């Protein structure tokens, strides 16, 4: 479905000295600096996959998405999306993809979303019967209701995002490029958007490539992640494998009942009011059994490392790699 080989994007950025003298000098002789936004990225994504495309700010995520969607021309490398070369912007290619950016909007500000839907129907030449059927499905799945008839400017951020998703999916694209679709949304709306993306993927088999700084989005939607840093690919595999690579330990946390004062044996150590064992995943079962044997009435939990910390540590490791 998506094949990327040795993809590169380099920008020539004008440089000048500060102040009036620098401004005047740049009028006659302008110097440039090359900035490598994407450098030699290679990966493949099968039809129907949901893949997280992750990296720190400035890593090249959005630049890569724009090249995959045909909005930017690569400096070099090969890109294929469902058999098409995105940079050619063939009409048949555009009918099969959509790009949703959480910080951009296509809804007409002073008009209700229904008018944008009608405009997209005309642009994509969607047959009337298919348009009505798809809009009905989207209205149900996203709980749009009367939102489609209210001016866009009167909708909340979450309501606008739901309508943005509907507008972007009316032509039933086979590939969804989602760039921060839940940015700025409250917790309830984030859950609704995640549920919808998963439901749409399962119902229509669409391929999803998602960028997000919200790790809950990634954990809920993406069994596989592709991670880039400084424009280069650093990891491609299962999310669970990345967690095991960066944070291979687990914490077994025990809180004894009131009045229990006996010390727990190693590998447990006292942290505040809790006894904590920092163990390898293979040793979690033994630690749990040991804890229950020592104090049957305790409150016990096994803590996975927070994904935010996993990725923060990973990015630090590869910041200058």
pLDDT in tens, 250-295: 999 999 888 888 889 899 999 988 999 999 888 999 999 988 888 8
Mean pLDDT of the chain: 90
Asked if pLDDT for residue 216 goes beyond 60, the answer is yes
| Cα Rg, the chain, nearest whole Å | 25
Position 10 scores a pLDDT of: 92
- Sequence-distant (6+) residues with CB within 8 A of 317 are 246
Cα 33 from Cα 45, distance rounded (Å): 33
Please state the φ and ψ torsions of residue 7, each to the nearest 5 degrees. -75, 135
Give the DSSP H/E element, type plus range, for residue 168: helix 157-169
The predicted pLDDT at position 21 comes to 65
The pLDDT tens digits of the residues spanning 135-190 come to 999 999 999 999 999 999 999 988 999 999 999 999 999 999 999 998 888 888 89
The pLDDT, as a whole number, for residue 24 is 67
The residue that leads in pLDDT, 18 or 234, is 234
For residue 103, is pLDDT > 90?
no
Is the pLDDT score of 33 beyond 90? Answer: no
Distance separating alpha carbons of residues 52 and 217, to the nearest angstrom: 9
H or E segment to which residue 87 belongs: none
Mean pLDDT in residue range 212-234: 92
Could you list the beta-strand ranges (E) of the chain: 2-15, 31-45, 50-54, 76-81, 97-101, 175-179, 207-211, 224-229, 232-238, 250-255, 268-271, 274-279, 299-303
22 confidence band (pLDDT: 50, 70, 90): low
Instruction: Report the pLDDT value the prediction gives residue 258, as an integer from 0 to 100.
Output: 85
Q: Is the peptide bond before 267 cis (omega within 30 degrees of 0)?
A: yes
For the chain, count helices (H), then strands (E).
11, 13
Is this prediction's pTM over 0.75? yes
Q: What domains does the chain contain, in order, with CATH numbers?
A: 45-244 (3.40.50.300), 248-303 (no CATH)
Instruction: Report the Cα 247 to chain-centroid distance in Å.
Output: 21
Please tell me whether residue 228 adopts helix, strand or coil conformation: strand
Q: Is the pLDDT of residue 320 over 60?
A: no
What Å distances lie between residue 321 and 4, 33, 53, 55, 231, CA to CA? 21, 21, 19, 14, 11
pLDDT of residue 200: 93
**pLDDT for the residue 296:** 84
């Amino acid at each position: 479905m998506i094949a990327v080989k040795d993809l590169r994007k380099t920008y020539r950025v004008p440089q000048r000295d500060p102040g009036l003298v620098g401004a005047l000098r740049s009028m006659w002789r302008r110097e440039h600096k090359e900035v490598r936004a994407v450098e030699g990225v290679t990966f493949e994504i099968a039809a129907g996959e949901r893949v997280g495309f992750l990296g720190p700010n400035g890593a090249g995520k959005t630049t890569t998405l724009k090249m995959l969607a045909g909005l930017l021309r690569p400096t070099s490398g090969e890109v294929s999306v469902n058999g098409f070369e995105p940079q050619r912007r063939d009409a048949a290619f555009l009918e099969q993809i959509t790009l949703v950016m959480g910080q951009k909007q296509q809804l007409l500000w002073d008009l209700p979303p229904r008018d944008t839907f009608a405009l997209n129907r005309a642009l994509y030449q969607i047959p009337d019967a298919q348009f009505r059927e798809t809009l009905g499905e989207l209205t149900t799945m996203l709980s749009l209701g009367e939102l489609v008839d209210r001016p866009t400017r009167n909708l909340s951020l979450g309501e606008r995002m739901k309508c943005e998703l509907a507008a972007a999916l009316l032509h039933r694209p086979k590939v969804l490029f989602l760039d921060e679709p839940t940015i700025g949304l409250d917790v309830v709306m984030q859950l609704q958007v995640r549920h919808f993306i998963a439901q749409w993927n399962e119902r229509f088999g669409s391929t999803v490539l998602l960028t997000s700084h919200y790790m809950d989005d990634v954990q809920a939607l993406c069994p596989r992640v592709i991670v880039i840093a400084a424009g280069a690919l650093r990891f491609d595999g299962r999310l669970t494998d990345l967690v095991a690579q960066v944070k291979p330990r687990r914490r077994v946390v025990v809180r004894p009942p009131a009045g229990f004062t006996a010390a727990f044996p190693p590998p447990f150590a006292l942290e505040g009011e809790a006894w904590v064992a920092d163990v390898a995943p293979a040793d979690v079962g033994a630690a749990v059994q040991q804890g229950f044997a020592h104090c049957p009435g305790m409150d016990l939990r096994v803590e996975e490392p927070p994904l935010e910390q996993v990725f923060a540590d990973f990015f630090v490791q590869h910041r200058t790699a």
